[in-house]
Amino acid sequence: MKRKFSLLVIATLAMTCYSFAQYAKLYPTNWWVGMKWNKVQILVYGEYDGFNKETVRINYPGVKILKTTPLENGKYMALDVEIAATAKPGDVIIEFLQNGKGHAVKWPLEKRRTGLGTTYAQGVNSSDLIYLLMPDRFSNGDETNDRVAGMRDQTLNRNKIYDRHGGDLQGVINHLDYLKKLGITTVWMTPVLENDQPYRTEHGYAFTDHYAIERRIGGAEKYLQLSDELHKRGMKLIQDAVYNHVGSKHITFLDQPMKDWYHQWPQYTGTSYKDQPLFDPYASKSDAKRTVDGWFTREMPDVNQSNPYVANYLIQHAIWSVEKFGVDGWRIDTYIYNDLPFMNRCNKALTDEYPKMTMFGETWVHGTAAQAYFVENKIDVPFKSNLQGATDFQALMYGIQPALKQDFGWTEGVNKLYTTLSNDFLYKDANRNCIFLDNHDLTRILSDVGGDIEKVKTGIAWLLTTRGIPQLYYGTEVLMKGEKNPDDGNVRLDFPGGWKGDTKNAFTGEGLTAEEKDMQQYVTTLANYRKNSSAITKGKLMQYVPEDGLYVYFRYDAKQTIMCVMNTSDKNKEVEFSKFAERTDGFKSGKNVVSGVTVEHKFTIPAKRMWVLELSK
């Protein structure tokens, strides 16, 4: 029987090469030798019915089949294989025998990354500065991919905020030197996976194929090239991961492997977007279920991560992405709506495989305790998350925003920022949180502070000196504006100079106003100073109780002391070192790291300014 099968397969292969490639799709599309994750569950998908009648065979040294499981939908099978440490790279041929006919599908087993590519999975930490950009909106480096025939969204109009604008990964590659000069160390792009949805594909959060990089931004080849170009420059790559949902045109939604691959409801049920039911001691189970199992939107079906086949599919994709593209850090979208035990497994699988890998999750919640619940914390709760850091909405909404926008009061204004940071005791390590002034979902900082450039400068000085991993949103450095309401498209406008014929060009400085150039220089100076400051990137933080709108904090280590003075009041303020003796003892003066001007131990800071002073003895 065995011999007959094998001859049949060979005969079939000789007769028809067509079935070799077309017979079935395999996810993951390949794997590597020498991985810790060496038991891979391949999701086999065929464009026909009846895996139930299959016989599957692999004849490859070091690769054996552990189990085959036909899934409810006869077009799918879960094929569990184990790859021995002795297995060599090569094309594993998976042979399928169906109704007396043999078919073979290649599943490449590759060598792990070599040469330049070995610098990856480095992790992103507080010594980095992240630049968040949207590939469709940053720069169009290749006009030939603006539209891709056969894809559902054929829009292309830069005057419409929700149409595609043509930006791509080549555009990012073209301007990496600009980013490096600005002081950026890490690029985080909104998701780069295929979004073959009919409309609103500019944001990338509706995957339609986990194993395809969006062709309109350059596809897998360009993504690999970007990763290499970043690493050549000593920079890092963060991938934006979405586990919670997919696009409604995802292959596993259009043709679902199992009934419970997605969370099904008798009628459409959206998530309540409420985080509280997940930790509230008084919560109802139905509320918690709705938070996690409700759909993000009608176009974004909710993935059932408690289904073990789904879990494997997602975890393996995460590992596959890091290995394939040389990713350094991981940002996890809509973290709180995921199945949290699944997320723990997934996070652990990544750090088991890549011990230096870091990740932070989007936690758009209210209150430090709520946010800390979703990350590694010091709170005594039944569920303990292993997520390293959060996108720190608390330091934003209850921190720098009120500091810049509210009058000073007992709990208002900069006192709120001080208070919020004082709650850092809840985290295992608050320094792993990603901090920001705005992003693709929020009103841009300049618009948020009513166009007041000095306030933006204060915000940036804080962002680049407080604890955490700072993230700058593209265009903030040249005063891009945009209100979230009524349309978040307004905060996702094109970066000036990214398109041929742009009259204003932030890359060359052409057409920038004096104020825009000044801000670009301000960011460059502070960011590059930060890069080389041990106190800011690795040191400790000490903050003093704000008084009458004046907030003073220090970043310090054995080598360096940085005094950060934020005057949020509308009056000039006198500052004396002696008041902060614990940190200023022995120091005589401070040099403003932006202006280069030195101040003595007693100085006056003008109203609505922030100064970053490196102290000298």
Give 142 or 494: the residue with its C-beta nearer to Ca ion. Answer: 142
Cα distance between residue 465 and residue 542, in whole Å: 12
Beta bridge partners of 77: 44, 70
Based on CB atoms, which residue is closest to Ca ion, 137 or 331?
A: 137
Residue pair 77/70 in contact by the 8 Å Cβ criterion: yes
Round the CA-based radius of gyration of the chain to a whole number and report it.
26
Q: How far is the CB of 249 from Ca ion (least distance, A)?
A: 21
The β-bridge relationship of strands 602-605 and 573-576 is: antiparallel
| Contact track, Ca ion, 83-122, x by CB under 5 A | ----------------------------------------
Nearer to Ca ion, 140 or 304 (CB): 140
Q: How far is the CB of 214 from Ca ion (least distance, A)?
A: 11
Q: Specify the stretch interacting with Ca ion by CB under 5 A; choose among 140-148, 325-333, 377-385, 593-601.
A: 140-148
Tell the smallest beta-carbon distance from residue 134 to Ca ion (Å): 13
- Tell me the window of 164-172, 271-279, 487-495, 509-517 that interacts with Ca ion (CB under 5 A): 164-172
Is residue 333 part of the annotated active site? The answer reads yes
Per CB under 5 A, 567 contacts Ca ion: no
The one-letter code for the residue type at 82 is E
**Distance (Å, rounded) from C-alpha 160 to C-alpha 244?**
28
Determine, following the binding rule CB under 5 A, whether residue 168 of this chain makes contact with Ca ion.
yes
In the complex, minimum distance from the CB of residue 168 to Ca ion, in angstroms, rounded to a whole number? 4
**Strands (DSSP E) found in 358-478:** 358-362, 389-391, 434-436, 469-473
Asked if 145 touches Ca ion (CB under 5 A), the answer is: yes
Count of residues that bind Ca ion according to CB under 5 A: 6
Min dist CB 166 to Ca ion, Å, is: 4
76 within 8 A of 45, measured Cβ to Cβ: yes
In this complex, which beta carbon is closest to Ca ion, that of residue 145 or of residue 358?
145
CB-nearer residue toward Ca ion: 102 or 167: 167
Q: Which is nearer to Ca ion, 146 or 376 (CB)?
A: 146
Verify whether residue 576 is a known catalytic residue: no
The full DSSP string for 166-214 is: ---HHHHHHTHHHHHHHT--EEEES--EE---SS--SS--S-SEEEEE-
Of 324-383, which residues contact Ca ion (CB under 5 A)?
Answer: none
147 vs 181, beta carbon nearer Ca ion: 147
DSSP state of 441: T
What is the distance between the alpha carbons of residues 268 and 257, in angstroms, rounded to a whole number?
A: 20
The residue (of 215 and 601) whose beta carbon lies closer to Ca ion is 215
User: For Ca ion, which stretch binds (CB under 5 A), given 133-141, 261-269, 286-294, 497-505?
Assistant: 133-141
Chosen residue from 46, 102, 135, 166 binding Ca ion by CB under 5 A: 166
Side chain identity at residue 236, one-letter code: K
Q: Does 135 bind Ca ion (CB under 5 A)?
A: no
Q: Buried b / exposed e across 115-133, counting CB within 10 Å, b at 16+?
A: eeeebbbbbbbbebbbbbb
Q: Which stretch binds Ca ion (CB under 5 A): 13-21, 79-87, 143-151, 237-245?
A: 143-151
Tallying the residues shown for the chain, one arrives at 617
* Rounded-to-integer distance, Cα 604 and Cα 589, Å: 13
Name the β-bridge partners of 335. none
- DSSP assignment string, 3-60: HHHHHHHHHHHHH-SHHHHHSEEEESS-EETT-S--EEEEEEEESSS-GGG-EEEE-B
Stretch near Ca ion under the rule CB under 5 A, chosen from 145-153, 231-239, 417-425, 593-601: 145-153
> Is 497 a residue that touches Ca ion (CB under 5 A)?
no
451: left (phi over 0), alpha (psi -120 to 50) or beta: left
Taking residues 266 to 305 in sequence order and writing x for each that binds Ca ion by CB under 5 A, - otherwise, the string is ----------------------------------------
> Using the rule CB under 5 A, is 139 a contact of Ca ion?
no
Task: Please select the residue that binds Ca ion; options are 146, 299, 376, 429, rule is CB under 5 A.
Answer: 146
**Distant-in-sequence contacts of 307-311, Cβ < 8 A, 24+ apart:** 307/258, 307/260, 307/261, 309/41, 309/43, 309/69, 309/71, 309/78, 309/257, 309/258, 309/261, 310/261, 311/342, 311/345, 311/346
* Token representation of residue 124: 């992103």
Judged by DSSP in three states, 157 sits in coil
Exposed / middle / buried, residue 362 (Cβ in 10 Å: 0-12, 13-18, 19+)? buried
Which span sits near Ca ion by CB under 5 A: 24-32, 168-176, 244-252, 269-277? 168-176
Among 153, 163, 209, 362, the active-site one is 362
Q: Which member of 333, 392, 438, 516 is catalytic?
A: 333
* Residue nearer to Ca ion on the CB measure, 200 or 444: 200
Smallest separation, CB 146 to Ca ion (Å): 4
Give me the least distance between CB of 230 and Ca ion, in Å please. Answer: 19
Distance CA 519, CA 532 (A): 20
Helix (H) or strand (E) holding 514: helix 514-531
CB of 331 to Ca ion, least distance (A): 24
User: Does 140 help bind Ca ion (rule: CB under 5 A)?
Assistant: yes
Stretch that binds Ca ion, among 55-63, 135-143, 150-158, 314-322 (CB under 5 A): 135-143
- Contact residues for Ca ion (CB under 5 A)? 140, 142, 145-146, 166, 168
Active site members: 333, 362
